[in-house]
Structure 1
């Protein structure tokens, strides 16, 4: 399969024609949790082509890196996984099972976070015409792209989130803001589902923030051992003075 894929990829690269297919594909599930050893170290994904044209799909694995402000970056992690098949030519209305096996560290001390990236490539599956006296200018661009969550979760790991910082700030435009820094001191990722956040003013006044006031903070994911800082508009009905805060959230089993 790989040699066939490479041959078609080469044909597309040297094609002189503009090729912009409208077909797409579906990947399920979008999130998987692996065990570092045993039967749980292999998981299956289903890729379905609902269109009337063949699609070419490439699958890769990357490390998931998230900084304090929530910006995500990736680095190659294909050596930590065995993906079969890593490239697919999927017929119209067909489905393909992809098996992914963890082959990295067998005894990690905390949960590890990765991404599975499935990309649709607009490859011209028809042979290119041979035109004399013309140079090759074909290009390949990714159309559909799925970025799935992958966690390698050893036994007895769990999140432990604390509010590590609470600071009054101003935006570049001078608007009053409140910066909250959460630190996941635990060994597994935390999802701030059904987050409830209460601010306590110096005078003892308590304000529970609404989901709209919390913005991207609600349902945010904080990876094991990492920090996330969120800036929200300072509540209009509180004086711009130092406040304290308490919070709760629902962490799924």
Structure 2
């Protein structure tokens, strides 16, 4: 899943030669919600170094931008947060907590999405030839107004054997479609797809407040024509 930044981002630094062994590290939590108007402006990320070597990391803050086709891009946003420590080398087998605080303007109408990226800093020993693997983890951070909510409207049609969906969010909160269930009525026959199935079927399922995304899904036994209704809802 994510299929977006709800899972680990992966970068490879290619030098020359063979591949040394490398293990990832653990980051928790992977999603955080802040509500500045209610005094919830800060939280903590914990990085657990499960390697037998030192792990140098740095924290990078990015603003999340979602296009109508569901693709995502990210722009630097370090000025909106204070992070401590901003970078550190974590000893083998040890954990490090990173505290971050939102210092931007409190949102009043719609949530703002960020990613706090835990980025491994590759250390290249003198004379090293090989391939180094750097693992970056993106923690989703949503800064919301009070009483934020998602309100979805879904339009669906069948085209070229695929289900085409257009999902609009008129609410003030980000909606994660892969955390919901999809109910389809095809010629009066009801089909329900749970969150596990949607995680496999939807690549980028985050709908921003006041925005929309459109995407295609490939489903088994989909008729060529017929009456169709679709609804995303909380399970």
- After TM superposition, the score normalised by the length of structure 2 is 0.78
Q: Does 1:75 align with 2:68?
A: no
> What is the alpha-carbon distance in structure 1 between the residues aligned to residue 63 and residue 219 of structure 2?
35
**What count of residue pairs does the alignment treat as equivalent?**
218
> What is the alpha-carbon distance in structure 2 between the residues aligned to residue 104 and residue 217 of structure 1?
32
CA distance 1:21–1:55, change in 2 (3 Å):
farther
1:217 is displaced (CA, Å) by 4.2
CA distance 1:213–1:206, change in 2 (3 Å):
farther
For residues 37-57 of structure 1, the C-alpha deviation after alignment (integer angstroms, 9 at most, x for no partner) is: 564201111112122211110
Q: Does 1:64 align with 2:92?
A: no
Q: Is the 8 A contact 1:122 1:140 kept in 2?
A: no
- After TM superposition, the score normalised by the length of structure 1 is 0.73
Task: Give the structure with higher Rg (CA).
Answer: 1
Aligned with 2:75: secondary structure? Answer: strand
Structure number with the higher strand fraction is 2
| Counterpart position of 1:199 | 185
| Counterpart position of 1:156 | 147
Q: Is the 8 A contact 2:201 2:217 kept in 1?
A: no
Aligned with 2:98: secondary structure? Answer: strand
| Counterpart position of 1:50 | 50
1:23 is displaced (CA, Å) by 4.2
Between 138-147 and 60-69, the greater mean CA deviation after superposition:
138-147
| Counterpart position of 1:12 | none
Q: CA RMSD in A?
A: 3.3
For residues 19-48 of structure 1, the C-alpha deviation after alignment (integer angstroms, 9 at most, x for no partner) is: 956243221111111122564201111112
Q: Is the 8 A contact 2:19 2:131 kept in 1?
A: no
| Counterpart position of 1:244 | 228
Q: Does 1:99 align with 2:99?
A: yes
Runs of 4+ in 1 over 4 A off after TM superposition: 17-21, 137-142, 209-215
| Structure 1, gaps ≥5 residues long | 1-16, 130-136, 171-175
